[in-house]
């Protein structure tokens, strides 16, 4: 794995305008904005697997779609091999779209039900001019071998396959254009537990064989720990902690990371819970709390947390956005519940 960043983002923010009811328009109410991403800074090294975790609604999928070029950021920039995505035009932009491929969560809806598998792969190969003539059929055969599908799959339709096989087809379609970076958005969450490990192990094997860079977006912390070199924890559109996988999982510096790990299912029998479990609901991205956005759910919150948003700073081999990261990691920070906010 090279230390050279192949894909990076800085100050990435995405806001969506919420449609206003007619009555609100007539009364002149301002348009509300959903703040999906709020100043994301990330860099992914060539050949690395970066896990991205967080609760549903925290902005993981929005980030994945931004990196794939499907959502235009409101602020900030995305760089691929040092070049700004916003500056790419024509063939350069098409080259980016080919080199950075997104694999969607749901294999049941991401494949065209009216096309055979062979037609789907052939379309990807010809549109991007990867192969021509007899080379198309030859490459389709190679792709089936890569994702471990039988050769007779080319004449079948998506509904003739199981969920795990459909996800393999989606992976084959992404690999058809010879990408350098794969973004797996909840790759196995729609699959049976019995086949999840097979698909994940296939991804790991493909990464080793093809030298791929992978962004693995998931809410299953056990899977992320298994596949990732580093992990980024996202809360309400901001990175609150990032670091080597084992460091984040064994000694998290942010209370949100601690709470996620405490809530994760495990086969280990524990005498008692040392880390407070995550409580309360995720605030609406329409009204993100001031200061540290996690303070209304944080057992360590102090007055400073309500006023000042912490910066993402080095702590223990990684980065954490918490005013008390060192104290929490050392177990010396007293538990102080956040006081109710005035109405």
User: How far apart are alpha carbons 237 and 171 in whole angstroms?
Assistant: 27
DSSP string across 171-190: HHHHHTT--SEEEEESTTTT
Beta carbons of 234 and 66 less than 8 angstroms apart: no
CA distances from 250 to 71, 258, 298, 316 (A): 34, 10, 20, 11
User: How far apart are alpha carbons 158 and 167 in whole angstroms?
Assistant: 10
DSSP string across 209-263: HHT-EEEEE-S-HHHHHHH-SEEEEEETTEEEEEEEHHHHHHS--SHHHHHHHHH
User: How far apart are alpha carbons 136 and 123 in whole angstroms?
Assistant: 9
User: How far apart are alpha carbons 21 and 227 in whole angstroms?
Assistant: 45
> 260 phi and psi, to 5 degrees?
-60, -45
Q: Which two tokens stand for residue 31?
A: 């348009």
pTM for the whole thing? 0.88
Beta carbons of 218 and 228 less than 8 angstroms apart: no
User: How far apart are alpha carbons 296 and 167 in whole angstroms?
Assistant: 39
User: How far apart are alpha carbons 26 and 134 in whole angstroms?
Assistant: 62
Average pLDDT for runs of 10 along the chain of length 343: 82 87 69 88 95 92 95 95 94 94 86 94 91 91 95 94 93 95 90 87 93 93 90 96 94 92 65 59 88 92 93 92 87 55 47
> 7 phi and psi, to 5 degrees?
-140, 130
CATH 3.40.50.300 fits 5-250, yes or no: yes
Q: How far is CA 119 from the centre of its chain?
A: 29
Give the pLDDT of residue 221. 86
Residues 6 or more apart from 252 whose CB is under 8 A from it? 233, 241, 258, 261, 329
Quick one: which of 181, 178, 199, 182 has its CA closest to 190?
A: 199
Beta carbons of 295 and 337 less than 8 angstroms apart: no
Domain coordinates in residue numbering, the chain: 5-250
């Amino acid at each position: 794995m090279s230390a050279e960043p192949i894909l990076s983002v800085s100050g990435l923010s995405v806001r969506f305008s919420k449609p206003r009811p007619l009555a609100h328009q007539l009364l002149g109410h301002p348009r509300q904005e959903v703040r999906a991403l709020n100043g994301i800074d990330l860099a992914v090294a060539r050949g690395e697997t970066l896990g991205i975790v967080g609760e549903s609604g925290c902005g993981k999928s929005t980030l994945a779609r931004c990196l794939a070029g499907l959502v235009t950021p409101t602020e900030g920039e995305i760089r691929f091999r040092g070049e700004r995505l916003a500056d790419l035009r024509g063939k350069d932009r098409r080259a980016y779209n080919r080199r950075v491929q997104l694999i969607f969560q749901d294999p049941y809806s991401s494949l065209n039900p009216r096309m055979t598998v062979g037609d789907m792969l052939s379309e990807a190969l010809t549109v991007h001019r990867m192969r021509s003539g007899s080379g198309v059929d030859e490459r389709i055969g190679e792709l089936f071998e890569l994702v471990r599908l039988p050769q007779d799959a080319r004449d079948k339709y998506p509904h003739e396959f199981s969920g795990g096989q459909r996800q393999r087809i989606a992976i084959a379609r992404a690999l058809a254009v010879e990408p350098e970076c794969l973004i797996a958005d909840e790759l196995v969450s729609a699959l049976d537990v019995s086949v999840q490990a097979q698909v994940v192990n296939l991804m790991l094997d493909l990464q080793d064989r093809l030298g791929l860079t992978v962004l693995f977006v998931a809410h299953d912390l056990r899977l992320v720990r298994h596949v990732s070199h580093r992990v980024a924890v996202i809360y309400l559109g901001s990175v609150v902690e990032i670091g080597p996988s084992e460091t984040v999982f064994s000694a998290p510096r942010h209370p949100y990371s601690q709470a996620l790990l405490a809530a994760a299912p495990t086969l280990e029998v524990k005498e008692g819970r040392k880390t407070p479990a995550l409580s309360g609901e995720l605030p609406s991205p329409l009204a993100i709390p001031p200061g540290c956005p996690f303070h209304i759910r944080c057992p360590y919150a102090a007055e400073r947390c309500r006023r000042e948003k912490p910066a993402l700073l080095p702590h223990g081999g990684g980065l954490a956005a918490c005013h008390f990261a060192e104290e929490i990691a050392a177990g010396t920070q007293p538990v102080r519940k956040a006081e109710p906010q005035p109405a």
